[in-house]
Structure 1
Amino acid sequence: MKKMFWSNQPPLGLLEGYYYKNEGLFQGNNYGIVEIVTEPKTHDILDVEFTEFASDSYYEPKYAGTNKRLSDYAFFQADNTRTDETLVTVMNGITFLEQQMRDENRVTGDFLTVKGSSTSAPSGFMPLAEKMKDWIREPYENKYFDYDKEMPNGLIGRLQVVTTNDKITEV
């Protein structure tokens, strides 16, 4: 448990940009979503976020069909001896990949990933993100508005709004 950390946090304050999303099934019938926000003028990557839903037939029934990031899945994974060497995939691996893509302003090529405890990064999120490499460099009809604030106890409060052609489509 002491080895768990979130290496990528959403930028605090106001974030505005173009919003891109790609999603699909990957190995093990898990469902992945890649969301990328870019700066409107330079098309630099401002934020990357991955969401993974466990398959409906997941070996631990409690997590079947569940959003791994927004559940207690990371604690379940940390208690599993399989992650003792590789660390916890959702917290230490997936967020680290998000941070690399954002910091290096790219979605293709070689990235450092957690090995041995999960195939989500190399077999799921990296291919989904790679398909977006050209889209994210072009203006888009979807815009993203996000406000993040640090709250007590290390939590971050978020308000996210996506518009399509200037009409709110997601909150």
Structure 2
Amino acid sequence: MTTTVPVRAASRAVLPLSVGAAVAIALGVYGRLHEPTGVAVNVAGFSSPQSVKAWLTTVAVVLAVVQLVSALALFGHLKGLAGRRWVGPVHRWSGRAAVLVTLPVVAHCLYALGFRYDEPRVLLHSLLGCFFFGAFAAKMLTLSRSDLPRWLLPAVGGAVFTGLVGLWLTSSLWFFTTFGIIR
């Protein structure tokens, strides 16, 4: 009888993980079937839409590092920050801000460029973009549920972080090393 409780808890993880997988697949299918427009989002002060994407993704990664550190503090792994009242709000707001700055990037990528597979870096970037938003959807669905296994939230949070860092490596780092930081 003691083995059924963990099995039931683990089976509850199926819903958020399935929704995350569905989001990832839907984005990939949309990106692949949608005819790319080539119309890009540009922001005053940036030299190109690619520059906007590179810098917004860099801001998101910096905020994701704040997320990682604050999550470690919330889970008691950083003794100096554990129990501080401001850590929870910093964690929530840095996450919100990170997702907010990625929205123009994903809109540009999906709408203007679509899901591409013409070179390995671009294919990996397209796959990571779908993975990131699928993992994000799964994470959002795990936050309000107390009946899920304790390992699930850190696992999907780690997947979101890993996906975002992978996106940065395959886009922003590539852009900065190819074209320079100031363009």
Q: Which has the higher helix share?
A: 2
User: Which structure has the greater CA radius of gyration?
Assistant: 2
Q: Which has the higher strand share?
A: 1
